[in-house]
Each structure stands twice: as structure tokens, then as C-alpha cells.
Amino acid sequence: MHADTLPAPTLFSHGRLAACSGGLVLVSLLAFEAMAVAAAMPAIAAALDGLPLYALAFGGMQATSVLGMVLAGRACDRRGPLPATVAGLLLFGAGLLLAGLAPAMGWVVAGRVLQGLGGGMLGVALYVGLGRVVPSGLHPQLFAAMAAAWVLPGLLGPLAATALVDMAGWRAVFLAVLAAVPLAAALLLPALARLPANADFAAAQAGPAEAPVVWALVAVAGALLLHGAGTAGGAAWGGPALLLGLAGAGLAATRLLPAGSLRAAPGLPAVVALRALLAAAFATAEVFIPLALTREQGWSLSQAGGVLSAGAVLWSAGSAAQARISAPRHRRLALQAGLLAVAAGIGVVAAQLLLAGPAWGVVVGWAVAGFGIGLGFPMLSVRTLALSTPATQGRNAAAVQLADALGCSAALALAGALFNLAGHQGAMAYALLLGLALLLALLGAALARRAFD
């Protein structure tokens, strides 16, 4: 067979099959867990009388993922991706087990905190490990496959989770994901073990390893203090906790993110700020919509999960649509349109809750928001690469991931405080939370032009 007739190499060619299969299984597990828990959390909170800790169950996981990213980056630089992957799998699995066996909501939160630490480590370790297993010419295929691994979990995760809750109880959601972790480990770890620890991989060297661990710890502490302040009620320690949390999270953000990110300075800082705003707006709404529908509108858990699936379908459609837009001016307008679509969709859902509107209005509203984030997220990722040199791609990609986690955690802390102040009931309480998400999306739309300046 002549060289020009040899089949083109693929991600799953000999020598890469196990590593890529294991990596994609793991990405799918992380995606399924995220979507499934979002759909099942109303049942968990009801069973454990845990509404005061509802937001912390999500925001705490986001906060500790920051520390996981930083620790994994340092470990990958020094010892290769294997130790970070093993540690991430153990922590993520331990968190699933703890949450699945939790006797009270506080234990669910503790499990989610461990999951965040492990999940943050796995995200970086997968980026580094698969990037080293797969030759650079196949990296576009690799990242496209990793993005595609989110599609089916996004569509099926909420529906599968609600079916599990109905058939076996909410604990099955965590334990089912835990049962699949060994499969990913068996495929992925042997391939990573064959990599030399000192292999040169620029993305790892320029990634989150450069962020000092101490500032990641400060960020986590600040975020958790913010969440704690939201549950303080009238306790005397609530005010000091709020001030310390704001100071810690803000100071850590100035150290972990590119200079100018907090004021959305033109260029890369604006991209990082927009990613935080977009992620925070969408996550805040996504976390509370199933709870609002089941508690205030009388929807079943599976019906509320179907709303999340509708958003996931349109997220995929938005991602596909943005890939067809090439002119810089058109991409700038589309980014702004995506943020406005997220705001509009959230606004429609809030109006339906307040006015007790038809069910299809909620589905349409969240689908519009899903299309908007599908437009915006990939555009910001592409813009990050466009503003990076080869030597700074890893560092800047890490900054975007850190901004996601910090933004979501801070927004969920504020949402949790508002939710507790509102007494956990009434359509107005949920409309208030969705109003916060809407304002974040509108702020992003107002700043969108700066990403292209």
C-alpha cells in the first residue's frame, strides 16, 4: 500500500483508542452529572429539608473547582497528567459516594465540594493528557469530540435523572455516575501511565499552574464565606462574613485573572469578564428553574427536566449557527445577540412564573436562552484563541475556565442569599432570582463590543 493510500490518522487510531475513549467517557460522565443533578436537586432538597443550602450545593462545587484547576496545573507541570487524573478521579468518586449516601443536606454539600475539587482537577488533567496523547494535527478533532461529548448528556441527563429518581430514589443519580467511573479509569489511566512525566506540552506549562495555590484557596474561602453569609439570617456573623467574602473573592480574582478583567477592559480582559457574566447568568437560572417549576407551578420532576433538555437542544443549535458566521463584525453582533437572547429567555421564564402562564412559554423561554448561550460560549472561546499567542493559549484558556467558576460561584452565593431572605416560596422569590440572572446577561450584552476592541 502506497503512502498516499494509507488511511488518514484519527483520534481512535491504534495507540490512541483507549485514551481517547476513556477521556470522552469521562467528559460525558462529568456532563451527565452536571445536568442530572441540576434536574434532581429539587427532589434532594425536599427529601432532606435542605432549601437553605440549595444554592451552596451548586456554588460550593464551582468554588472548589478553582482550587482543583490550579492544583492540577501544578501537578501536570511537575509530574505529568497521571497523578492529577488519579487524584481527580478519587476525589470526584468520593464526592459522589458521600452525596449518594448523605443523611442530611449538609453532607450532600460536602460531597459536592469534593466533586468540585476532583472535577476541576480532571478538567485540566484531561486537557493536558489527551493533548499529549493526540498529535497536534488532530487537536481540532479532539476538542470537537470533547464538545460533542456534552450533547447527549445535555439532552438525556435531565430526563434520565428524573427517571432514576422516580424508580430508585434521588441517591441513584449520584451512585449511577459513580458506577461508571471505573470504566473511564480503566481506559484512560494505562495510556497516561505510558507518557513521560517531563514531556513538553506547552498548554500545561502555560496553564493554570501559574496561578498561585494560595490565591485559589483565598478564592474558595471567599466564595464559601459569601454562601455562608447568605444562610446567616439575622445572625451577627452574617455581615462580617459577607464583607470578608467579597474582599477575598475580589482580591483573588485580581490575582487569578488577567489584569483588567474585573472592569472588562477591552480585549482579553473583556472576553474573560463576558465569559463569567454569561456563565453566571445561565447557571443561576438553570439551578433555580426546576425548583420553581416543581414547587410553584406543580410540575413533575420529569417535566421540569424536559425544560432543561430543551435548553440543551437549542444550545447545540446555537453552537452550530455561530460556526457559520465568519465576518468579525457579524460575530460581534452575534455575540451581543446571544447575550440578549439569554436575557430575553430568562425574562420570559420569569414572566411565566409571575403570571402563571402556559407551560409552553417556559419551554420556549428556556430554549431561547439555550440558543443564546450556544451562540456566545463558542464565540468567546474562539476570541480567546484569537487574542492569544501560542505561548499564552494555555494560560488564557485557563483564565476563561477560572472566570466561569468564580462568576458562577459568586452569582449563586448572591442568589442563595436572596432566596433565603425571600423565605424559599412564592413566585416572586423565584422571579427575583431570575431577575438577577437577567441583569447579568444584560450587563454582558452592554459590554460585548469590548471583546472585539
Longest dimension (CA), the chain: 79
Averaged pLDDT, 176-203: 76
Average pLDDT on 424-450 reads 92
Q: Does pLDDT of 248 surpass 70?
A: yes
Asked if residue 1 is part of any domain, the answer here is no
Nearest to 116 by CA among 136, 99, 134: 99
How does pLDDT run across 365-391, given as a tens digit for each residue? 999 999 999 888 888 877 887 887 766
Indicate if 252 and 263 belong to the same structural domain. no
d(CA 62, CA 123): 13
Q: Are residues 317 and 388 in the same domain?
A: yes
Q: Return d(Cα 293, Cα 309) in angstroms, integer.
A: 14
Q: Which of 85, 95, 153, 89 is nearest to 124 (CA)?
A: 85
Determine the 3-state secondary structure of 291 from DSSP.
Answer: helix
Return the percentage of the chain with pLDDT > 90, whole number: 36
Using 50, 70 and 90 to split pLDDT, how confident is the model at 323? confident
Same domain, 193 and 247: no
Question: Residue 418, Cβ neighbours under 10 Å: how many?
Answer: 16
Query: Residue 301 domain-assigned?
Result: yes
Whole-prediction pTM value? 0.83
Q: State whether 64 and 91 are in the same domain.
A: yes
Is 10 within a domain? no
For 111, the grid coordinates are 460531597
Residues 245 and 379 in one domain: no
**Domain span at 33:** 16-210
pLDDT higher than threshold 90 for residue 86: yes
Q: How many CB atoms lie within 10 A of CB 246?
A: 16
- For residue 281, the model assigns a pLDDT of 96
pLDDT value of position 69: 86
Same domain, 217 and 354: no
Terminal Cα-to-Cα distance of the chain (whole angstroms): 52
Do the domain assignments include residue 397? yes
C-alpha cell at 435: 431577575
Burial class (CB in 10 A: 0-12, 13-18, 19+), 239: exposed
Is residue 6 in some structural domain? no
- CATH number of domain containing 134: 1.20.1250.20
Q: What is the pLDDT of residue 140?
A: 60
Q: Are residues 293 and 428 in the same domain?
A: yes
The verdict on 59 and 191 lying in the same domain is yes
Residue 136 reports pLDDT greater than 70: no
Q: Is residue 224 part of a domain?
A: yes
The H or E element spanning position 308 is helix 301-322
Counting the structural domains of the chain, the total is: 3
For residue 436, what pLDDT band results from cuts at 50, 70 and 90? very high
The grid cell for 357 is: 402562564
- pLDDT for 313: 86
Cα distances from 324 to residues 146, 379, 452, in angstroms, run: 20, 11, 18
pLDDT of residue 135: 73
Are 122 and 114 a contacting pair, CB within 8 Å?
no
Yes or no: say if 401 and 203 are a contact pair by the CB < 8 Å rule: no
Looking at residue 236, its pLDDT comes to: 65
Whole-angstrom distance, CA of residue 311 vs CA of residue 38: 13
Residues listed for the chain:
453
The reply to whether 236 and 287 lie within a common domain is: no
Tell me the C-alpha distance between 87 and 80, whole Å. 13
| Residue 359 pLDDT class (50, 70, 90 cuts) | confident
Q: Is the domain of 313 the same as that of 452?
A: yes
Domain C-terminal end among 198, 233, 256: 256
Q: At what angle do helices 359-386 and 268-296 cross, to 10 degrees?
A: 160
